[in-house]
Amino acid sequence: MIATTLFPGRYVQGPGAIGQLGEEIKRFGQSGFIVADPLVYDEILPAYLPDIEKEAEIGKESFEGECTDKEIGRLSDLIKEKGSEVVIGFGGGKTIDTAKAVAHEIKKPVIIIPSLASTDAPCSALSVVYTENGEVDRYLFLLRNPDVVMVDTQIVADAPTRFLVAGMGDALATWFEAQSCMQAYSPNMTGNHGSMTALHLAHLCFETLMEFGEAARISCDAGVSTQALEKVVEANTLLSGLGFESGGLATAHSIHNGLTALEPTHDYYHGEKVAIGTLASLFLTGKPADTIDQVYGFCVSVGLPVSLEQIGLKDVSDKDLMKVAEASVKEGETIHNEAVPVTAKSVFAALKMADRYGREFV
């Protein structure tokens, strides 16, 4: 059996980490092009740009909000016209995925600077491409992982706490999905088997969230970087990224994809919907009662959703919920990596149970 493990080229984390961006650009060339989400472009980047420009020639453009083929093409054309040597993605998950896809398209190195610890996208060789309507279209598998990932934890601490919490929701799925793939001998994102390293990193991700998640949320509320925040940011970004990509995906992310078929969920973050998918997976795969209660208790303590109402689906009809279930089990979805038989009916039942159980906690 072949096992494959993927890593970013370099991972840099800590308060003030963005101060090293110029040095990192110079490892690959003399010029970089920053793709930044609108908030970063207008309110964060201007404070750092003068120092960065002392080290390298910089082009920049604001991201238009969705990782679509159209946006990837638009930015690729701009960067090729500018002649920049390095692509830099600065922002949230969709900005990051777009920058990675652009670098892949134009065959340039990429530096990723997440402004939030809201997803495990920064470290992966994967971009999730959406339709113009905001539904998941496909996974774009890239030739390599980002060359550099830089996480400035003061920027993370200054961001709204909801983003950090959403990242915990995304990271929460990592251990359960990697464990399922290992048990079922299902492939990771490379098509090969997950490694022992990936499985143990996924478990460390889970343990870190359970021990430090609530303290990290409080730290972010206070706008300060503490040891708890540093540990959870690393779990959300590095451990979850390595764990999902090299360990594998299963139910939680398939249910997330199914939930995007219902328009009211579009106002909620990726990790919030993945958290609901994780809760449903606990019932789908028959996890013990103490594990279920531990995970629900964690979600409540940090502010993750535990009911469908909390992701915009109050009084959702059984017909619409079955649409979610059917989309979750489409051919090619990672839910089929589970060791248990999966059908639309069993996913529907797991979602109903997860919602009803969650309402006991709120």
Q: Is 270 a catalytic site residue?
A: yes
Whether residue 2 is contained in a domain is answered as: no
Structure confidence at residue 292 (pLDDT): 98
Domain count, the chain: 2
Where among 155, 181, 212 does a domain terminate? 155
Assess whether 140 and 191 both reside in one domain: no
- Is a pLDDT exceeding 90 seen at residue 65? no
Whether residue 6 is contained in a domain is answered as: no
Domain limits for position 304: 158-359
Q: Is 104 a catalytic site residue?
A: no
- Nearest-5° Cα angle at 154, 151 to 155: 70
Q: Is 336 a catalytic site residue?
A: no
151 CB contacts (<8 Å, ≥6 apart)?
11, 12, 13, 14, 17, 113, 114, 117, 122, 233, 237
Read off the pLDDT band of 143 (50, 70, 90): very high
Average pLDDT over residues 41-64: 95
* pTM of the predicted structure, to 2 decimals: 0.93
Which entry of 256, 266, 318, 355 is annotated as an active-site residue? 256
Assess whether 148 and 165 both reside in one domain: no
Structure-block tokens of residue 272 = 């919030």
Q: What is the CATH number of the domain that holds 199?
A: 1.20.1090.10
- Is a pLDDT exceeding 90 seen at residue 133? no
Cα(90)–Cα(164) distance, integer angstroms: 16
Whether residue 224 is contained in a domain is answered as: yes
Assess whether 166 and 150 both reside in one domain: no
Structure confidence at residue 88 (pLDDT): 98
Read off the pLDDT band of 156 (50, 70, 90): very high
Assess whether 162 and 125 both reside in one domain: no
Assess whether 133 and 26 both reside in one domain: yes
pLDDT tens column, 160-216 = 999 999 999 999 999 999 999 999 999 999 999 999 999 999 999 999 999 999 999
Give strand pairing partners of 31: 57
Which entry of 120, 152, 270, 355 is annotated as an active-site residue? 270
Assess whether 163 and 128 both reside in one domain: no
- Is a pLDDT exceeding 90 seen at residue 139? no
Which entry of 253, 267, 320, 355 is annotated as an active-site residue? 253
Where among 120, 155, 190 does a domain terminate? 155
Whether residue 61 is contained in a domain is answered as: yes
Cα(243)–Cα(205) distance, integer angstroms: 8
Q: Is 290 a catalytic site residue?
A: no
Which entry of 37, 97, 120, 170 is annotated as an active-site residue? 170
Where among 127, 155, 183 does a domain terminate? 155
